[in-house]
Structure 1
Amino acid sequence: MEMPTKEQAIASNRDAWNDSARHHKDSPEWQRLLNTVARADFTCLDDTLTAVLSEVGVDGKDVVQLGCNNGRESLSLFALGARQVVGVDQSAAFLDQARELTSRSPHEPAFIEADIHRLPLELQSRFDLALITIGVLNWMPDIGEFFRHVAQTLKPGGALVVYETHPFLEMFDPEGADPFALASSYFRNEPFVQTEPIVYEGKVEEQAAPSYWFVHTLGAIFNGALAAGLNIRHFKEYPHSNREELYDRYQQREAQLPMCFTLVAVKR
């Protein structure tokens, strides 16, 4: 298969996520969200991310979430005291869901449809805190360029908080004949390509726009952040999974893989 250009991959990923939105809405989780976001103290953030955000400090701050999906995490930031929250995503379909959830909530985050590589000028140097959670970094063809755009949203002294899957996990195929055998190189250059709809659990046997999942080493992530003018203040790896249930099989092993990480970097 011929590899797409950066622009083609970004556009195809956007189409894939727009198609995916209807599958995510057709789930018991969506109904639970509609019922629970009405609480002022609503949060879907796990203990790991909540602890890191609490240590960095969210109270009274202006926060941007880059890759906000349906806005559930953006809404959760108000429970930690955020003054203002802006969620950014390139999927119009998921942002429609974010606005529907917000209509049930006492809080009023703003949502902006934009590709991270073409952020509106109004977002530059505006925020005290930027948040990136699971399943954002790997949709980015160029991790260094991505961090440069992220850094532009922060005020000097502003902090970026990342809670992501660990790149070591990309070496394994949880659906392979032997899920514990190494299936891919840590230094893989070409993206993983999927032509079925993007869903968190199971599979939908339909054709969809190709989606491209790019593998980035920890070194590429660190160097990308540093080159963007972000000083790394915190990095921690964890033995638990924060992604699809398929990956739960890698938890609680005698020879335990790192499964996710948190990173905090401050803009110089």
Structure 2
Amino acid sequence: MSDAEAIAANRAAWDHSAQHHRGNAEWQRLVAGFADPGFSCFDATATETLQAIGVEGKSCVQIGCNNGRECLSLKALGAGRVLGIDQSQAFLDQARELAALSGREAEFLCADIHNLPDGVGPFDRALITIGVLNWMPDLLRFFKAAAGLIAPGGALVIYETHPFLEMFDPGAPDPFTPAISYFPDGPGVAAESITYDGSTPEDEAPVSYWFAHRLGEVISAIAGAGLRIERLEEHPHCNREVAYERYENRPAQLPLCYVLTARKTG
């Protein structure tokens, strides 16, 4: 399978799965939350990182913005112009609905990050959060596209799942024994709807492809894209699906997520 075919398959899977992300408890929390002008869905780690790097008054782009909840949360932190990019039109429809409910101004662009229209950017800040990198078959190509959106002197913030966590299956009979190699020989293939809340819809879903990238691959690709890494901090808390919270607060604690910031110097 080519990279383009994998990307197209994942777009179809996300468009199909969007129906399962609207109307559930998390959607209702967002609808109620964005009625408050100060509401943000960022946790303490993301908030502190973004405030430390400075987003107030800055132009910001989120790559892989899903339903726009974090784009709208950037506005609560005082960001200036905000653009969210995602290749799923179905999720961007939800983003525009949340934006209308919130009264906050944000723009949304439906596009493959690797094939953006002319004139997008540059931005002072770029944001990538949980569950973006593993949908990308070629990290160097992805980060070169991301770097192209950042103005000289601008910064990239990544808040992602730690690759070590990809070795464990929370639904396995023994969830604490590694089930997946840290050095996979191909993508994970799934034919289930993509959900965050632990639900398992029984509908037939398009096949999707999940690429487990090692931390060294991530760092090398960022450097290869011409960005200077300023900070890498690993954390013991979970920032992905609820099933993975069982790996928190263990006597021998895994790193469960990380924050990385990088700067475009030229």
TM-score by length of 2: 0.97
The offset of 1:81, in angstroms, is 0.9
| Structure-2 residue corresponding to 1:204 | 201
d(CA) in 2 for partners of 1:94 and 1:129? 22
The offset of 1:187, in angstroms, is 1.2
1:113 matches 2:128: no
For residue 225 of structure 1, the aligned residue among 200, 222, 226 is 222
For residue 150 of structure 2, the aligned residue among 138, 149, 154 is 154
Deviations 1:22-76 (A, max 9, x none): 0110302212212221222120000000000010000110000000000000000
For residue 172 of structure 2, the aligned residue among 170, 176, 186 is 176
1:195 matches 2:210: no
For residue 3 of structure 2, the aligned residue among 2, 6, 21 is 6
Moved more, 32-41 or 77-86: 32-41
d(CA) in 2 for partners of 1:198 and 1:168? 21
| Structure-2 residue corresponding to 1:132 | 128
Alignment coverage as a number of residue pairs = 264
SS in 1 for 2:119: helix
The aligned runs of 1:247-262 (5 Å cut-off) are: 247-262=244-259
1:19 matches 2:23: no
1:216 matches 2:187: no
d(CA) in 2 for partners of 1:49 and 1:149? 23
Is 1:166–1:258's contact at 8 Å kept on the other side of the alignment?
A: yes
| Structure-2 residue corresponding to 1:93 | 90
The offset of 1:205, in angstroms, is 1.8
Is 1:234–1:265's contact at 8 Å kept on the other side of the alignment?
A: yes
d(CA) in 2 for partners of 1:209 and 1:39? 36
For residue 31 of structure 2, the aligned residue among 29, 34, 37 is 34
Moved more, 222-231 or 180-189: 180-189
Give the letter for the 1:102 counterpart. Answer: A
Unmatched 5+ stretches in structure 2: none
The offset of 1:204, in angstroms, is 1.3
Deviations 1:116-141 (A, max 9, x none): 111122214x1000000000000000
| Structure-2 residue corresponding to 1:266 | 263
Give the letter for the 1:211 counterpart. Answer: S
SS in 1 for 2:186: coil
d(CA) in 2 for partners of 1:177 and 1:93? 35
| Structure-2 residue corresponding to 1:239 | 236
Moved more, 185-194 or 128-137: 185-194
Give the letter for the 2:44 counterpart. Answer: D
Is 1:144–1:228's contact at 8 Å kept on the other side of the alignment?
A: yes
Is 1:39–1:106's contact at 8 Å kept on the other side of the alignment?
A: no
Deviations 1:189-235 (A, max 9, x none): 31111101111123112211111110101110000000101000010
d(CA) in 1 for partners of 2:31 and 2:253? 37
1:80 matches 2:70: no
d(CA) in 2 for partners of 1:212 and 1:48? 29
Give the letter for the 1:215 counterpart. Answer: A
The offset of 1:106, in angstroms, is 2.2
d(CA) in 1 for partners of 2:19 and 2:203? 13
